[in-house]
Structure 1
Amino acid sequence: MLKKIQHIKKLGVFDDFSWDSEVKNKGGAVQNFVDINIIYGRNYSGKTTLSRIARALETRTLSDKYGAPSFQLKFADNSDVTLAALTTHDKNIRVFNEDFIRDNLRFITNPDDSIEPFAILGDDNNKIEKEIEALEEELGSSIEGQETGLFADKKQAAVAYSNAFASHKQSNESLEKQLGDKATNKDIGIKYKPERFGDQNYTITKLKADITTVSSPDFQPLTSEQVSEHEKLIDEKVLPAIPKFSSPQLSFLSLALEVETLVTKPISESDKIQALVKDAVLNRWVNEGRSHHRNKHEKCAFCDNEISTERWAELDKHFDEESEQLEKSIDALLAKIETENQTIQSALTIDQSAFYSKFHSQLTALNLRLKAATKDYQLALGNLTKQLKARKGDILNVKDYENPADCTAKLTQIWQDYSDLCAQSELFSSSLADEQTKAKADLRLKEVAEYLLTIDYQAQLNSIETLRQKRDEAQQAQAIINTNITQKQAQVTAKKRELNDEEKGAKKVNEYLNNFFGHQFLTLEAKKDEGPTQEAKRIRFEVIRDGKKAYHLSEGECSLLAFCYFLAKLDDVATKDSNPIIWIDDPISSLDGNHIFFIYSLLNAEVVEKGKFAQLFVSTHNLDFLKYLRMLNGKYIDPAGSGKLKSYQKDFFVVIRQGKFSTIQSMPDYLKKYITEFNYLFHQIYKCANVESVNDANFNSFYNFANNARKFFEIYLYYKYPDQTSDEDKLKLFFGDEKIPAVLVDRINNEFSHLKGCFESGSIPIDVPEMQTAARQIIDRLKQDNEQFSSLMRSVGEAVEVETV
């Protein structure tokens, strides 16, 4: 059932129509379509446009002359049909409008053309009917809630597929949410930690790309140490340039050669005091004593004996210039060794803070090597010093030279390695941003890998895949059943075509023309065009008058024929028993009053009373036809009510054109409630007679009473007393022996309706008690004709008063 036309945009006279904001009842609630819907609108207000939207559902296409329109129809099952869904919807609808007439009754525009034929089931086809019956039994019932056969299987398969689809969707959406949270959630999302993971525009798409990376067998996550290094790296700032280091020139080899020369250098033995030669300590003591006594003491400070000139000569010969020169050379070489030692000691101090954390581990190792090598070099220098000091202490005696290990190459390599690290650090300054980006990417991949373990990603993937397979299997099972149903339905259709009888379609139209309209001058006949084969023969309908093809039909005849054709077509093979939505647009064009009533009678008898529809729409511009349409009533068997009869719901709508554009509204009471103005006038008098307390809401009943009463009596008394009696006499006849009411009503009618000769009445308030008294007298008099009064009460929706005896 069509619930409402949600919106219409840029389609005909509907520019931007919205149902929920415009179609509302008196209480302000949205008024939806019901079982039977009567639509009134003046010509050019948009009724045909609405019917064309409905016909677009039937033909599955809309004229491309509308430009770029859009519309949305909402149905009771919460499904929608839009312009884009015209070819895919499953709604069953039949529309009568001028497009239907043009497409099916082409003879109206081209007298030499024919009417599109349709078929009704033929006779004497018992065998085929039994085959059809068997197929339909296998298909079963498709009625909602009462499915049997293949349709029951279809419903079960649909439920199974729906459940499988929902399970797969729920599981998939759950995983997607977890991934989405990890990508963009403010609490745990990678997007909101760019300082660590490096991408403030991170998305779930990028996360899935990272998942592909970490899921590769070649992926190796960072170790704890690597994580620590990466964290330090991403905190790095560009460091100032490292002071340039120049490695000193080492002289170990030359020093060693000099030491060897001095240690092994012999001293001449002539004129030597043998006692001193043999005792190096004594020799050193004596030599030091010389410096203490020369030119200072004539006597020995130790033994107090005089030191003779001869003794000084002996000592000077013993401590000659050669030995003194050797000792000086040794002292000079010791100084050079000490200088070399100081150079080595201060040559290089490694400051890790000047380097990026990336190089700290290498610097630590290099510093250990540097200290070890420096110590070895200093030990070697100490060995040379020791040998020199030993020779100096025994200057007269040659010593054996001991060659220490040379660590020059080791120190030189360490200094070179340090220089290389300095160069690398300088180079790293220019690539720091790239290195930090790579470090953040590595940390992000580790974060992703750990998150996958946390949410048990692979297990969820496996579960989703299993559910997907179940969904696909359920979908395949559903497709198989649907295909089976389609094939069975095609077989039924094919077999029904074997029963087709186009001539019966023509006879059905003729039956309507004769029985409802008494039109015996026009008939339809089924003609068969000969073809080369039996299958090539084509049936066509022709309009016949007096045994000949009819030409020059009047507009009224065309309207009658077209509507009879449409109703007969509801019994064709494609439509019979399908209970479609029926939309009928203004079927009374160019018809007189009698034929308008016949159209209503045919519609009521053949459609409404027989329940051939799921929902009915009838639109008109004709107030006479609207009057009849108010009387449309019918009942249907309620499947939910154990087969009880239930009345169709009926409601009224109007299409109103406002300037260039139109809208749909709930029909106001003055059009919907009153069959004629006479009924309305009666209702206003009845309301005036029964007002208990006068207030601003009902005071208009008294101000309008004179006009309402005058017009009511003009209609009522004309039909009750259709002779030439005067209005005053007719009032007296109406009230009978009670003359006062007649006089009172006549006065009110004249003075308060026209203010004739009593202008001052218009300058004072209405006398409410006088009006209500007259109204009650009229109602009391009408009650005397109980049948008519009860009918009038029912016509205006008031409860019929039951007189108590």
Structure 2
Amino acid sequence: MISQIKNLTYKSFLDYTGPAENFKSKNIIYGDNGNGKSSLAIGLYNSFIQSDHERLTYLFNKYYIAQNMLLTEESNDNIKAVKITYGDKNVSNEKEIKELKDKLDILKSNESGLKKKIDGHSKKVLSEIEKIFQDNKKDNKSIKRKPGKDVDRKFNAWCGEYTEAIKQHPDYDYSNSPTSKKIEEEINDIEKAKINELNCSEIDQLLRVIESLMMTGYPELGISNEVLNWINEGLHIHNDKKKDVCEFCHNKFDRNQLLGEINDKLKNETAKKQKYLETATDKLILFKDQLGTLNVNSKVLLENGDFNDTYFTLVSLINIAREELESNILTMQAKIKKMATPLNKKLLSQVKINDIEQLINDLIKKKRKISREKSRELEEINTLIKGVIGFKIKNSTLISSEMALLKQDNKNLSEMSENANDIEQQIESLEAEGSDISDFAQEINEILTDYEVGLKLVPKNDTYFLCHKFNPEREITLDVISEGERNVLAFCYFYCSLLGTEKEIKNDIAGIIIDDPISSLDNKNSTLITAMLEHILKSNAQVFILTHSWKDYLNIIYSKQEEEYGFYECFKENYRSSIRRIKKSVSVYKKLYQEIYQIQKKNFDDIKPEEFLHLPNTMRRVFESYLRFNFNISMATANSIDKIKTVFEFSNRDIDNGKLQGFLNVINVFSHGSIFEYNPKQREIYDSAKFLIKTLKCNNKGHHQKMIEDI
């Protein structure tokens, strides 16, 4: 246990040792702002650290709040929420994560801007490449754009075309682009010429058979093949065997007999030869027509002497062959009608057929050769055109400038991406280091519920968010979390960190130092913090509670005995801070008396609302102290009203008219476990303060003057 702080040199403390009256197990220290109170708290903490290495020491101050609690605003589905982080490691990580995320946001923003710049450079390069491409390929339809939108790939591909072209044509002036229009037109002209191969082997065989048939006479059938076929087809409508009447002439006939006669005639040798000649005639007609389709309408081909000679030789031969074929067809048709008459006519010569086939094949070869020559010529021109395009792209000032910027920006983008990846990995690593605070969160929620604080901690994805206790779906933002609520949330975590099993303060704690536990901006939650302080003061640890608020000081020391507690003031003289003991018995009562006196002296409209909040409890404590000390009346309640009236009736004529009862109602509304639903108005509190001062002044004027003598 620390009895004195020794040789403290820190801010306004200069080699200070004290206080003269040693510290006790439990110590309450008052100090106005600027008198060194917070420096004293740090000095006490360091003294514990130096003197007791085995046991823990806890310090609550503004630095503890900053290091152990962090509130951050986040948006989820466009609904704002406040994330709460507890624990020095978690808070440190969360702050580092926030800094890293801020850096990452800046990087991402810069990365986005750089991507737009890169896109702009790329578009300029691609646009210039397209312009050079269009200007130099002109009407050429065989030269295609390089695929894709990758600028480097396109640029390198066209530069490669220039490199290839200069290998083949090193002396060409690549500042001028040749035209391919004429050669492309010639190639298209050649393609228009349709020369189909002719298969004459079947015709050759056919002519051999026909010549033999033509010179042979066959017995007459007495009926033509056409009539036979017509009758045969007609018999299909007489499938009913019972029918013996012709559907056409209505004469009776024997269907089976007629069908037999027809089949006999159809199977006759003459009929077969006749049928063959009919089929052969159709094939010769088709062959003659095929010969007539040959028409080479190509200026390029016909201007080629070798091709032209072959073509007109073929045309002449085809014309002769077609005339002979026409004569042969007429002869064959006559033979079909008179199969019995032999005809000794010579048909188309096989030599002519072979000559036609050979000439057609020669024309096809000559056409292909000419086409290949023109295609090679086009390839040469295309190589030059692509070389010109590549040359102009490679030597474009605009493209070179934009490509240089593009290269640098891509390098910067790559570095940014690497940095962003590193930061994301750091964030991921820090997030994985987070410690579990679920037990703390559960205990804090129980405390907030017990004291009706309108907030609670809600878990979500391994983190906790603040929400309104009675309306969890309501949006909550940082600006609606008051300074007092922040202080309460931090102190709840500090308090829970002191707890061991069965929610009691841990026994292995050497010292607990608490600097300004109650925020000056938070009156409504002071009851909660005071309750936690009372529990801490019952622990086995040495406790120091420091406050800049006289009101909070009085609340904390109320009912505390000097035998167990040390009451001190941190003050400053000649710019140096010191500690001195405060005598509780007079100081507390006098301070409270002066507070009531000062308020009731004011005009009602000049009093701030927060001044009324603790005034009923302050009046009760002053009145009870006065009664206990002077008249041995311990409680200022309705049960003691008759005794109180007896004491004061000779000094205050208002005692009998009911004002005493109203006064007792007001001062007991927040004390002694009062459960009746009575909420005094500010005017009632103000009137009660005037009533109390008037009553005590009338009862003991000397006492009154003593209490206000130093105001």
Tell me whether the two structures share a fold, i.e. TM-score over 0.5.
Answer: no
Query: TM class by shorter-chain length?
Result: under 0.3
**TM-score scaled to structure 2, two decimals?**
0.28
